[in-house]
Amino acid sequence: MPIDVNPRGIVQGRPRTTGDHRCDRCGRDAAKIRTRWPEGAICGICFHHAMRTRGSCASCGEERLLPGIDGDRSPICAPCAGIPASRCAHCGEGGENYRRGTCARCALRADLRALLVEPAVDTAMMERVVDVLAAADRRESVLAWMRPQEVKDLLHRIATNATPMSHAGLDAEPHSLRVEHLRSILETHGFLDPRDHHLAQFERWLDARLALVDDPALRHPVERFARWHHLARIRARSEPGRRSRGSVHASKQQVTETLKFLTWLRDTHGRDLDACTQQDVDQYLAEGPTTRHLIRTFFVWSRKTSLERGITIGHRTARTAPHLTQDERLAWIRELVTGTAESLPYRVAGVLLLLYAQPLVRVAELKLSNTVLTPDGIAIRFTDTPIAVPKPFAGMLAQHLSARPNQRGANRDSDWLFPSTRAGRHVTSQTIMDRLRDLGINLRGARNRAMRDLVSEIPAPVVASLLGYSDQVTQRHAQAAATPMAQYAALQRASQRGSG
């Protein structure tokens, strides 16, 4: 069935500029011509790609820069192509000059040494940092990151130890993406011990949120709830390889909703928590959105700690479970596998949702080790058992594995299936959700439909063991799909009779 792809008309990525000049290499129109080589006019995109292509020349066989192309469009070196070669005055390498007579690698190393090594307290340590930053494949990206004065000042403070090169030192800096980018690089290369990013984010968020609450009658119970319950629980569970983003997100929501309720109680009825009644809570829940039910955890915790007694809030059960039709699910799989409305990584993530009912939180945290090359093709593993990947998704997944994005610079050799631009990290599930929602996919509906289709074809306990779900979850979907557990039991009995 037809589907409305990208209903908002959002353009993903940087659109290509057009103009009145034709590039003789790619044949497309361009706003201006970057250079002229023996083959003709070359646009900026083709020029930059050519000046970053290295390998074995198809003509002479030498390993060098390959800016030219031969009659078969195979890359060849500058002398074989008749292209005037520019060389760096410092290292002698051929390639594009970033500054007059200087390649990007030499320019980056010179700038880093001026910022980090020359004023350094620990010269040897700063030399190591320079080596890491200068090893980036795209040196221009590092130079662009260093361009703002705030980054230059930060690096100078690191070098002079005005800001210690530690988590505590970086935490004392004003929070910014530039600081977090540097932190991730230092963690990835062993200058800092890895820490739970989401836990640290929650601690910072909680301090800032509570600082805005002036009324002690509001702040004290919320602070105790946030620190004694949520923060203690997240800290106890925080360990390498274990997800904490979901716990942090849920904790923020519950703390925020609890603060909203206590503010409403004070402003509407002039009471604090000690004078709160069951009628107050019932009124609050009845008059607002369903997110208000998130205060239930606060009252359950309050009873356990004797902070409050007598208030009860039952579990909220969703009235409906959204799901796509089977035709809609198949149409979206077809669109993501064959279409071009999104870039490849997000299409792969979407198919994992639609084909295997995988939560996007789990999809974002898949590693290369979750994929297995077999004699028959590619398999993917959500638990201990690999599942064969069907065609044509297998080809699409293989293409992604061979050209994962964000593999340059400090994040090269990442073991994440979906690497982030941030060193050592993966793309967040929220980013994937936003991109797929922009296409028009109902994410909950897609997962529910995928699960129902799977348990209709495969016994629910088998689905649970293959996809990493609990038996209760798959059995609930099986009941909704009219394939009860009795059918599986019957299959087992039949199998036992057959083997006997």
Work out the angle between the directed axes of helices 471-480 and 460-467 (0-180°, nearest 10): 130
> What's the pLDDT score for residue 345?
93
334 and 394 inside one domain: yes
CB–CB of 68/81 below 8 Å? yes
Region of residue 409 (left: phi > 0; alpha: psi -120 to 50; beta: else):
left
For residues 428 and 334, state if they share a domain. yes
Q: How confident is the model at residue 241 (pLDDT cuts 50, 70, 90)?
A: low
Residue 94, pLDDT above cutoff 70: no
Per-residue pLDDT, 117: 95
Query: Cβ(86)–Cβ(47) under 8 Å?
Result: no
Selected residue with higher pLDDT from 280 and 493: 280
| 3-class secondary-structure state, position 493 | helix
Instruction: Convert the pLDDT of each residue in 323-340 to its tens digit.
Output: 888 899 999 999 999 988
Give me the helices (H) in 51-148, please. 78-81, 104-112, 123-134, 139-146
Judge if 348 and 475 occupy the same domain. Answer: yes
Between CA 24 and CA 36 the distance in angstroms is 9
Find the mean pLDDT for residues 21-37.
90
Q: For 218-233, what is each residue's pLDDT tens digit? A: 999 999 999 999 999 9
**Res. 5: pLDDT tops 60:** no
Confidence of residue 238 (pLDDT cuts 50, 70, 90): confident
Q: Are both 419 and 293 inside the same structural domain?
A: no
Name residue 103's beta-bridge partners: 97
Q: What is the pTM of this model?
A: 0.69
Label residue 493 by pLDDT band (50, 70, 90).
Answer: low
Encoded amino acid at 42, one letter: I
Residue 341 has pLDDT above 60, yes or no: yes
CA dist 238 → 189, 203, 234 (Å): 21, 13, 6
290 shares its domain with 172:
no
What's the average model confidence in pLDDT over 12-39?
81
> Is residue 373, in this structure, part of any structural domain at all?
yes
Lowest average pLDDT, out of 170-179, 351-360, 411-420, goes to: 411-420
Percentage, residues of the chain above pLDDT 90: 48
Please indicate, yes or no, whether residues 161 and 294 belong to a single structural domain of this protein: no
Under the banding of pLDDT at 50, 70 and 90, the label for residue 435 is very high
Count of structural domains within the chain: 4
Please tell me the predicted confidence (pLDDT) of residue 408.
67
- The rounded distance, in Å, linking the Cα atoms of 334 and 355 is 11
* pLDDT of the residue at 486: 45
Query: Are 122 and 180 within one domain?
Result: yes
Stretch 237-259: mean pLDDT = 85
Mark whether 132 and 247 lie in a shared domain: no
Query: What is d(CA 311, CA 289) in angstroms, rounded to the nearest whole number?
Result: 20
What pLDDT sits at residue 52?
79
In angstroms, what CA-CA distances link 53 with 64, 137, 389, 422? 9, 12, 33, 24
310: in domain = no
pLDDT at 308: 63
Pick the last residue of a domain from 188, 216, 233.
188
The answer, yes or no, to whether residue 18 has pLDDT greater than 80, is no
Across 10-96, where does the E strand assignment appear?
A: 21-22, 29-30, 33-37, 40-43, 54-56, 63-65, 68-69, 75-76
Burial class from Cβ neighbours inside 10 Å (0-12, 13-18, 19+) for residue 182 reads buried
Question: What pLDDT sits at residue 492?
Answer: 53
Q: Count the neighbouring beta carbons within 10 Å of the beta carbon of residue 60.
A: 11
| 259 and 279 inside one domain | yes
Query: What is the rounded distance in angstroms from the CA atom of residue 473 to the CA atom of residue 126?
Result: 52
Beta bridge partners of 65: 54
- Same domain, yes or no: 59 and 42: yes
Is residue 479 included in any domain, yes or no?
A: yes
Domain that holds residue 376: 326-494
180 and 203 share a domain?
A: no
Residue 485 has a pLDDT of 47
CA distance 112 to 227: 41
Give the tens place of pLDDT for each residue, 448-491: 999 999 998 888 899 989 999 988 888 888 887 764 444 444 44
Report residue 83's pLDDT band, with 50, 70 and 90 as the boundaries.
Answer: confident
Q: Quick one: 299 and 434 in the same domain?
A: no
Kindly state the average pLDDT of the residues 72-85: 88
Indicate the residue among 188, 218, 244 that finishes a domain: 188
Question: Which of the listed residues 45, 65, 85 is the one where a domain comes to its end?
Answer: 85
Mean predicted lDDT score pLDDT of the chain: 86
Start-to-end CA distance of the chain, whole Å, equals: 47
